[in-house]
Amino acid sequence: MSPRTVTVGAARARPCTLVVCRGCCCGNPRKHPGTDHAWQLDRLRAAAAEHGFQVRTTDCLGPCDQANVIVVQPSAAGRRAGGRATWIGFAMDDDCTDDVLRWAADGGPGMAKTPAALELQFIRPPREARLRARR
C-alpha cells in the first residue's frame, strides 16, 4: 500500500472535529469569571473519546469579542454531504456545551440537524466578516 493510499483512506474516515479557541480571551478566567474553562474542555474531550469525534485546541481564532469560540468542522462524510465548518460564539455555558456535544456525537455539519438554540450562536468567521464589511 502506497503512502498516498493511506492518506486518502485516512481523509475519507476523518471524523467531525471541534476546534476550541484557547487564545487571549477564550478560556481566560480573568476575562470570563464564573466559567470553568478547564471543565468545559475536559467535557469536550471525554465526549470525543466516547463518541468518536475529535477535539483540538488552538491559539486565538480572532473574534475575541465573541469568546469563547468553537469551530465545528464536518467529518469527511459530512463535507461530502454539503457540511461546512460552523463557527460558534459565546460558547461558555452548559447548555451550549451540551448542544455542541450532541451535534458532534450525531455527526456534526452535513450529517446531523443543528440544535435550534445553537444556531442563535453562529458567528461569521473573521475573514468572511471582513469581506462582507468591505462591500
> Does 3.40.50.300 match the CATH number of domain 14-134?
no
79: Cα within 13 Å, side-chain hemisphere: 13
**How far is Cα 76 from Cα 66, in angstroms, rounded to an integer?**
28
Q: Are residues 82 and 117 in contact, defined by beta-carbon separation less than 8 angstroms?
A: no
Paired strand residues for 58: 21
Amino acid (one-letter) located at 4: R
| pTM for the model | 0.84
The conformation of residue 14, written as its DSSP 8-state character, comes to P
Tell me the mean pLDDT in the region 4-10: 49
Higher-pLDDT residue of 16 and 133 is: 16
Q: Where are the domains of the chain?
A: 14-134
**Average pLDDT score over the chain:** 86
Q: How far is the CA of 10 from the CAs of 72, 114, 117, 135, in angstroms?
A: 19, 26, 33, 39
Question: In the block, which residue shows the cell 473573521?
Answer: 126
Q: Are residues 128 and 95 in contact, defined by beta-carbon separation less than 8 angstroms?
A: no
| Model pLDDT for residues 76-115, shown as the tens digit of each residue | 999 999 999 999 999 999 999 999 999 999 999 999 999 9
Beta-sheet pairing, 17-21 with 54-58 = parallel
